[in-house]
Amino acid sequence: MKVALVCDWYAPRLGGIESQLADLTDALRARGHEPHVITATPGVSSRFVHRLGVPLVPGWRVVRSRRALDALHGLFARESFDVIHAHSLYSPLAHAATYLAHLIGVPSLMTSHSLVDRATATILDLCVPEWASWPTQLTAVGTLAADQLRRLSRRADVGTLPNGIDATRFAAPLRPASDTLTILSVVRLHARKRPLSLVRALPEILRRAQAHCVPERVRLVIAGDGPLRAAVRAEAARLSVADHVELLGAVPRADVVRLYRDADLFALPSRNEAFGIVALEARAAGLPVVAMRDGGAAELVEHGSEGLLAADDDEFAAQLATLVVDAPLRRRMQEAAPRHLARFAWSEIARRHEQLYASLLGQPARVRRAA
């Protein structure tokens, strides 16, 4: 099958959706298909990566004019795709793709990679009022996001298409003894990702470590950049924990693998993760994961086995502190973390995509509204 994967964002921009699109492309190609990425992100184009070169909204870096619709229409006409797969409800280019697919009669699907806040839902209704009524198969990367998408679209036919992982890429050798205990977080420094809660957890972690005579020096390593970088630094200074915080900025994917291997546990503070691919990567590297109970990462971490889940920020700090001071528990979770990841292997995820694409080609797309 010749498949168009459409999203405003792609490499060289760093992020979860960008890496997932790249890996999905490789996995589909390995199964004999011809995936093409269509994006508005500037960079080098190729036979299978089409960059539209149209005006973007500053900051958001998404398309902002009809020129994008015209360019996309021309590309669809020239390439004659079998299936159009749009990614992210936040991507205007993705909505343009499903709109055009509806007009030209090409089967399409839209995958939501995020939990959608009320403001975004309102903007969708105002700017793309008919998006949910087009004959586009709707999917989401996790059950939490799928349930939300059903309510938002008032459609009963929303499916799930999880993200994938190459677990062998992150597998870590036995960690040598060290005089430093590292808490790692791979997170954009944006309010939606809640990086300040990481820093605010440190005083309790350090207090508990001192009370239990933890021999290692505790440090928090944050890989990621964003508008809250200065605020994170300021908060660390205000709480007198700056000596325990390392801000690495944006880190290439290859270097992130090394960070996982050098860490002892992983912290994911965000509540609005639809999936939380970094939690899976951390597990594959043998790291216990501490995450929020009401986010999508809770689907990926069994509490008490592969990590700990928290209901609020106080519990988040307490769970991190527990893993810092309880070395036997931490080691048991390090052993359990890499297990049972086969269902997220790219071979399995690509097969599920392939089956859904084939079903769309085999029968007309129909919208079924929920009661």
What fold does the segment set 167-341 form as a domain? Rossmann fold (3.40.50)
Is the model's pLDDT at 329 over the cut of 80?
A: yes
**How far is CA 208 from its chain centroid?**
32
* Confidence at residue 303, expressed as pLDDT on a 0 to 100 scale: 96
Is the model's pLDDT at 302 over the cut of 60?
A: yes
2-164+345-362 and 167-341: identical CATH topology: yes
Q: Which residue type occupies 319?
A: Q
CATH among 3.40.50.2000, 3.90.70.10, 3.30.465.10, 3.90.1210.10 for 2-164+345-362: 3.40.50.2000
Determine which helix (DSSP H) or strand (DSSP E) holds 35, and give its type and residue range.
Answer: strand 34-39
Helix (H, G, I), strand (E, B) or coil at 335: helix
Q: Could you report the per-residue pLDDT of 221-230, keeping only the tens digit for each?
A: 999 999 999 9
Residue 63: name the closest of 48, 51, 74 by CA: 51
Is the torsion defined by CA of 327, 221, 141, 272 positive or negative? Answer: positive
* Confidence at residue 363, expressed as pLDDT on a 0 to 100 scale: 52
Longest alpha-carbon distance in the chain: 67
Round to whole Å and give the CA distance between 260 and 263.
5
Is the torsion defined by CA of 244, 248, 249, 251 positive or negative? Answer: negative
Round to whole Å and give the CA distance between 141 and 237.
37
Domain ranges of the chain: 2-164+345-362, 167-341
b/e 333-367 (16+ beta carbons within 10 angstroms → b) = bbebbbeebeebbbeebbebbbebbeebeeeebeb
Q: Could you report the per-residue pLDDT of 224-270, keeping only the tens digit for each?
A: 999 999 999 999 999 999 999 999 999 988 899 999 999 999 999 99
The angle subtended at Cα 329 by Cα 316 and Cα 265, nearest 5°, is 55
pTM score, whole prediction: 0.88
Question: What are the beta bridge partners of residue 308?
Answer: 290
